[in-house]
Amino acid sequence: MKKIVLKGYITIPAQDLKAVQLELTTHIKLTKSESGCVVFDITQDQSDKHKYSVYEEFINQESFLLHQQRVKNSAWGKVTTNVERHYKIDGLD
């Protein structure tokens, strides 16, 4: 089993910022409760309120892919449709 690590950032359009911020706490809570989630950290950039750093670790590819599937069908997935994602993912086959 190979650990999966995702790191990078997201940029949120001004018109979506409030909705994303309102949903963020729930998204973090749900993700951290997922089986296989080791670390899940999202932090707002100090100089750009539209940019958030993202760092995730999952125990294996299966748990990471299950997380991705859950996110697609969640409220977070809906409010972040227009978000730009800039990620590097290590450990995927």
pTM above 0.85, yes or no: yes
Distances (CA, A) of 93 to 50, 60, 71: 32, 10, 20
Q: How large a percentage of the chain has pLDDT more than 90? A: 98
Q: Is the pLDDT assigned to residue 70 strictly greater than 90?
A: yes
- Percentage of the chain beyond pLDDT 70 is 100
CATH number of this structure's domain 4-90: 3.30.70.100
- What is the pLDDT averaged over residues 62-87? 96
Q: What are phi and psi of 27, to 5 degrees?
A: -60, -45
CA distance 92 to 68: 13
pLDDT for the residue 44: 97
Does residue 1 carry a pLDDT above 90? no
Res. 93: pLDDT tops 90: no
**How many Cβ atoms sit within 10 Å of the Cβ of residue 64?**
23
Q: What is the mean pLDDT of residues 66-78?
A: 96
